[in-house]
Structure formats: C-alpha cells, structure tokens
Amino acid sequence: MDAADIRRALVRMAHEILERHRSAERLVLVGIRTRGVHLAARLGAAIERIEQVSPPVGVLDVTRYRDDRPQRAAAGEIGRASCRERV
C-alpha cells in the first residue's frame, strides 16, 4: 500500500467506526503499544475531521501480560496518547 491507499483505508475505517457507534460523542480509542498507538491516533484525527469531535485516544501497554516474550518489570498501564498525526 502506498500513502494514498493507507490514508483511504484509515478514512474508511473511521467511517465504519462512526457508522457502528452513530457518533463520536461517546467514543474512546485505545491503541496497544507500540504500533496500535499510532493507528489509534490517526483514526482519532480522521474521526475529528469527519465529525468535528476529537475522541480521546489512550495507550494500553500489555508488555507485562505477553506470553511470547520474557516478562519485563514494567507494569501494564493505560495512559493518554500524546501523538496526533494528520491522515
């Protein structure tokens, strides 16, 4: 996929989310660290352009709960995403 294809896919995903939830008023997006955070932020930006409502975007760190890697000392946390990208 090139940049235009990715942008189109993100906008379509944003529309599908809005169709299922009817509005962005009570919508919260949570991205799983690390790549999901960027996806959630970009979807949030696309939804904001469509609805003129900025849904909160959070971060979920599941590092402690993964079973495919050795466990780290870091605890799982939910935080607010700080990145906002244009779609």
pLDDT digits (tens, 9 = 90+) for 60-81: 988 777 666 665 555 555 566 5
Angle at CA of residue 59, ends 72 and 37, nearest 5°:
100
Question: CA-CA distances (angstroms) from residue 67 to 16, 27, 36, 70, 77?
Answer: 32, 30, 18, 7, 17
Max mean pLDDT range (12-16, 23-27, 68-72, 81-85): 12-16
Residue 27, token pair as written in the block: 């919508």
User: In the prediction, which pLDDT does 77 show?
Assistant: 55
Does domain 3-80 match CATH 3.40.50.2020? Answer: yes
SS3 helix, strand, coil % of the chain, rounded to 5?
Answer: 45, 15, 40
Q: Indicate the domain borders of the chain.
A: 3-80
DSSP 8-state secondary structure symbol assigned to residue 58 = E
Which band of pLDDT confidence, cut at 50, 70 and 90, is reported for residue 86?
very low
